[in-house]
Amino acid sequence: MLIKNIQSPKFVECKVAQVIDLYDRPNSPTPVTIAPGDGIGPEIMEAAIRCLSASGARLAIQTVDIGKKMYEAGFRNGIHPDSWKTLRDTGVLLRAPVIYPEGGSFQTPNVSLRRYLDMFATVTWAKSRSPFVATNQPNMDLIIIQDSIEDLYTSIEHHQSGEVYQSLKLVSQPAMENIIRFAFKFAQANCRKKVTAFSKDTILPITDGLFHEIFDSVAKEYPDIESDHWDVSAGTAKVALAPVQFDVVVTTSMYGNIVSELATAMGTTRAHAASASYGEHFSMFSASHGAAPDIAGKGIANPSGLILAGINMLWHLNLNAAAENLHNAWLKTIEDGIHTADVYRPGISNEQVTTIEFADAVIERLGLTPEHLKPACHCGSKLTVSSAVFKSSPRAEKKLVGIDLFVEETHRDPVALANRILDLTVGFPLQLTAITNRGVLVWPCWCNESLKTDHWCCRFEFADQDKDTVFKTACTLMQILALDGLDIIKSENLYTFDGIPGYSQMDDKWYDDDFCKKPVKLQVVT
């Protein structure tokens, strides 16, 4: 492991976000920002605002334009620069879906908003409303919490050689502390009994291993909440087959995106899926479905996802009476069989309604509670969102012990590449110890079956070197190889931290000479 003996006291909570409370200031409407979006967005936003206004919550609404028009105006993230001030002034956004441009030269508003306003935690609710809404898992009641700003969601990519592309998975200890601690706090605030971590330590022992280690450390601070860890592959399968095994799942960005999509698909209709992103200074609430331009303007879109997102916003703003009232009215509407076309089922549903008719049906049921579905009620304590920062503490001893040089060579011959480098570095303090091709060892031993591309990682390690000259030696090595015409496309320094390697180990002990000299023949067992 890269980091060992993690102690949570290294972190401190700071700058707890202050949330405006309507009931503390009854004469002051709560300021919020809305973004009507594209496609069906304006229709479902109108329905959601009608419901929110009727719930008893007094909101001072400001509107920003996010999405298609802003992309067409040349703003790469779909957000006009003037909108940022409005967003910061209110600290809360209710967002409808948007239409993204074709091609990959843009950034989604979600990514930009989460990243620049540091909304580090995204929460997705996956809950069935059986038997009134079709579901594959009638008992699904799961919350998925994922990191929003690190992991592969940094979107740092490179085209490195003619054949090979790279996407960096970047994680940090403070950000992992943030998301894991948030998950336990969220569980407490919502009367949840268990938090489960998903990661892939077996494949990624440094990055995912760190996530697992921090999770175990933080879990000790919450003895009233059960905790466990699952391999993300097995855990995802279990979410699909037996979701009652879990209560709250916390994981990193890419895993969380996949698990949340699966859970909502298994537990409910896509139109009922809602998510929220939380940060210390800003929060965003949105429907999890797309803009559905094919049905825009027809008045048939299901506004439930955005209504539920609005309810989550009310809970967050501590407008608990309004949130509870509106949520129960929505549940009663579903229970009474008042459904839009996407949910309507003969024999279960009683009336098929339009977007606005559905909103009006919810409003008519304000003050009522469902008879079969579990009523909504305020439970637990108010959620405070805070960030963790490092205190000053002794740092691990960091030592440079080698360097990985990535080179582009099209000849596909690792022996020729190794011999060329060895000839150039005779007697040099940094010695070539291994060559890999996309992580597969190809020198000093290789399998004939291995696919080889034009992308080679050459590992050099110091035999014995004065720590004051290691950086100069590494730079000299690159200069020697570059002057001979080797195309160096990337370098990674190899460090140990308190003697523990902070880099992936080579598979250099698994082979024997006979295995590597010829292809392996399959033996048929009779």
Encode burial over 448-486: b for 16+ CB neighbours within 10 A, e otherwise.
eeeebbbbbbbbbbbeebeeeebeebbeebbeebeeeeb
Tens of pLDDT, residues 353-390: 999 999 999 999 999 999 999 999 877 667 777 776 55
pLDDT confidence tier of residue 81, bands split at 50, 70 and 90? very high
**pLDDT tens digits for range 33-80:** 999 999 999 999 999 999 999 999 999 999 999 999 999 999 999 999
Is 406 in contact with 160 (CB distance < 8 Å)?
A: yes
Cβ contact 218:181 at 8 Å: yes
Q: Exposed, middle or buried, 359 (CB in 10 Å: 0-12/13-18/19+)?
A: buried
Q: What is the pLDDT of residues 193-232, one digit of tens each?
A: 999 999 999 999 999 999 999 999 999 999 999 999 999 9
What type of residue is 439?
Answer: G
Q: Which of 9-23, 227-241, 349-363 has the lowest mean pLDDT?
A: 9-23
pLDDT, residue 14, reads: 32
CATH architecture observed for domain 398-517: 2-Layer Sandwich (3.30)
Q: Tokens standing for 309?
A: 């997102």
Q: How far apart are CA 273 and CA 334, in angstroms?
A: 14
Q: Which structure tokens are listed for 511?
A: 């082979």
Residue with the bigger pLDDT between 425 and 524: it is 425
pLDDT of residue 515: 54
Give the pLDDT confidence score for residue 7 in this predicted structure. 35
**Residue 154 contacts residue 168 (beta carbons within 8 Å):** yes
DSSP 26-39: TTSPEEEEEE--ST
How much is the pLDDT for 5?
A: 35
Say how far residue 69 (Cα) sits from the centre of its chain: 27
Residue 378 is predicted with a pLDDT of 76
Over residues 179-204, mean pLDDT: 96
Predicted confidence (pLDDT) per residue in 242-295, tens digit: 999 999 999 999 999 999 999 999 988 889 999 999 999 999 999 999 999 999
Nearest-angstrom CA–CA distance, 459 and 491: 10
**Closest by Cα among 308, 292, 321 to 362:** 308
pLDDT at position 11 over 70:
no
Q: Model pTM? A: 0.88
CATH class of 11-120+273-365: alpha beta
Per-residue pLDDT tens over the stretch 150-161: 999 888 899 999
pLDDT confidence of residue 27: 63
Q: Per-domain residue ranges for the chain?
A: 11-120+273-365, 398-517
